[in-house]
Structure 1
Amino acid sequence: MKMFEFSLRFDISACQKSIDAIDDLLFEAGCGDALVRHSRKGEIQIDYNREAESALMAFERAKSEVLCALPGARFLEAKPDYVSPSDIAANYQISRQRVLKIMQTKGVSIHPMTNVGNTQIFRLASVMSQLEKLGTPIVDATLYEAAEAALKLNSEAQLLG
């Protein structure tokens, strides 16, 4: 069994429950290994440190627990998936400038999926895979596995609309 760190974000505006009731329901559903953060927009982000055979199993079990505990909740996003150059630098313990230089090197096929203002946004699993091909080893195998699982869940959520 491996330990995975990840987050899931849900829209819970349709649940019509108090913060305390939501926390109690999530704990009873098996989310005792998580930290629940509530926003004013009717969303929650749940940060997990969960042990499982695979990241995908951990993500799917956590998502299922939340959806069972909070009927009407809607899955929004799994993390780690979307990252900035600063996030990549933090994961690899190198400078942001070094990350940008690597990405500007000819022959490197690391392209942003979008831009938010002046910040480029990448898919972490894709970046880690490309960096490994360039000879930069994956620093944390569980992070890579979690990034792949987050990418899969987010892609499925986009297809469902």
Structure 2
Amino acid sequence: MNEYVFQLYYQLPESEPDPEAWLDALFEAGCDDALVGVAVAGHTALDFTRQAQGPLAALRSAIDDVERAIPNGRLVCVGPDLLNLSELSALLSERLSKVSRQAMRKYATGDVRRIKTRFPSARVSGSTPLWHLDEVIKWMRHNGKFEPEMAESADALIELSAAIRTLNALDEYAASRAAYPDLAEQALDLARS
């Protein structure tokens, strides 16, 4: 069994938008390995540390537990996935190896010597660009930014963040397909070509 740390973000049912009202149900449904955020009415964030055979098993069991506790809740997204440079720095420093915000900025802007490949492109641009975590970790590992003893931990985090990224993409596609079925099919055909 491995340990996986991830977040689930849910929109609560309109019939009971108070996140605190769901705490007992979440605990009884098996979410005793999660810290539950209750700061925003209508939404809750669950920060899991879950034991499982693999990342998809961890995600599936956590989602099943939450949906058993909050049957009319809607999964908004799973994290960590899209992160800004500060968030990347904090997460990598916590889970793999110390990396400063300034170093992340230099990597992203190409102001670093002795790299094998260019830093991944931001997936969301604007005043606060966002990167997929799995792409950044793969880049850092390929460019020797982690100590060799961190290889196994880096691989595990790549696997988890890739599973999260895929789950989020499939959820977005399903929502788009439900709202715009013809457009979603045309876009899928375009992506395949």
TM-score, normalization by structure 1:
0.87
1:51 aligns with 2:61: no
Q: What 5-or-longer segments of structure 1 have no aligned partner?
A: none
**2:84–2:131 contact (8 Å) kept in structure 1:** yes
1:15–1:71 Cα contact (<8 Å) kept: no
Asked whether the 8 Å contact 2:81–2:165 carries over to 1, the reply is yes
Q: 1:131 aligned to 131, 140, 143, which one?
A: 140
Alignment-derived partner of residue 187 in structure 2: none
The alpha-carbon distance between structure 1 residues 41 and 18, as it changes in their structure 2 partners (threshold 3 A), is closer
The structure in which a higher percent of residues are strand is 1
Match of 2:130 in 1: 121
Structure 1 residues 135, 94: closer, same or farther in 2, change over 3 A?
Answer: same
Task: Provide the aligned length of Structure 1 versus Structure 2.
Answer: 160
Q: Distance in 1 between matches of 2:98 and 2:122?
A: 20
Q: Is the 8 A contact 2:121 2:131 kept in 1?
A: yes
CA distance, structure 2, for counterparts of residue 40 and residue 3 of structure 1? 28
Cα offset for 1:109? 4.2
Q: 1:17 to 1:115 in 2, by over 3 A?
A: closer
Which residue is equivalent to 2:164? 150
Aligned Cα root-mean-square deviation (Å): 2.1
| Structure 2 equivalent of residue 38 of structure 1 | 38
Distance in 2, Cα, partners of 1:154 & 1:25:
25
Larger Cα-atom Rg: 2
1:144 positional shift: 2.6
Structure 2: tracts of 5 or more residues without a match:
176-193
TM-score (norm 2): 0.74
Counterparts of 1:18 and 1:88 in 2: how far apart (Å)?
A: 31
Higher helix share: 2
Q: Matches of 1:67 and 1:122 in 2, distance apart?
A: 29
**Cα drift, residue 101 of structure 1:** 1.7
Deviation at 1:65? 1.2
Deviation string for 1:2-54 (max 9, x for gaps)? Answer: 11111100001335265444111111111111111124340000011111111
Question: 1:126 and 1:15, CA in 2 relative to 1: closer, same or farther beyond 3 A?
Answer: farther
Identity over aligned residues, as a percent? 28
Please, which of 120, 125, 131 is the counterpart of residue 110 of structure 1? 120
